[in-house]
Amino acid sequence: MEVVNTVGRRKAAVARVFVKPGKGQITINHKDLAVYFPLEILQYQVKQPLLATNTLENYDITINLDGGGIKGQAEAARLGIARALCEIDAEYRPVLKKQGFLTRDPREVERKKPGQPGARRKFQFSKR
């Protein structure tokens, strides 16, 4: 099997994921997973598709992350890894789909409107 590459997105974050057979090494922007995401919960989120399919030790994963915040980046990486696993073996698809790892979260930030301080917020109304 050669390298499989996929893309995962969440909010403004984009993750380009490269998966190849290996020992379970996860590298993000040339840093180890634990260095890039110091919070355990974010490390767990990135590993979720691998844990669901029991393939944590089978693949080496390289991820290029760009844009967004740390939570969006972790969820973008999760989607990219899940898509790559589906491309590698179609038997993983029902497991990943059931847990919702293949669904791209469509929620985006609403744009700020002119004449207002935010997207929905209005300046205080004064009658007199």
86 located within any domain: yes
104 located within any domain: no
114 located within any domain: no
The model carries a pTM of 0.91
Do 76 and 10 touch, CB atoms closer than 8 A?
yes
68 located within any domain: yes
122 located within any domain: no
Report the CATH number at residue 23.
3.30.230.10
106 located within any domain: no
Cα separation of 75 and 70, whole Å?
A: 9
Do 59 and 1 touch, CB atoms closer than 8 A?
no
Confidence of residue 1 (pLDDT cuts 50, 70, 90): confident
pLDDT tens-place string over residues 19-40:
999 999 999 999 999 999 999 9
116 located within any domain: no
Q: Which domain holds residue 45?
A: 4-98
How many domains would you assign to the chain?
A: 1
In the predicted structure, residue 13 carries a pLDDT above the cut 80 = yes
121 located within any domain: no
In 10 A of CB 97, how many CB atoms? Answer: 13
Cα separation of 40 and 42, whole Å?
A: 5
In 10 A of CB 63, how many CB atoms? Answer: 22
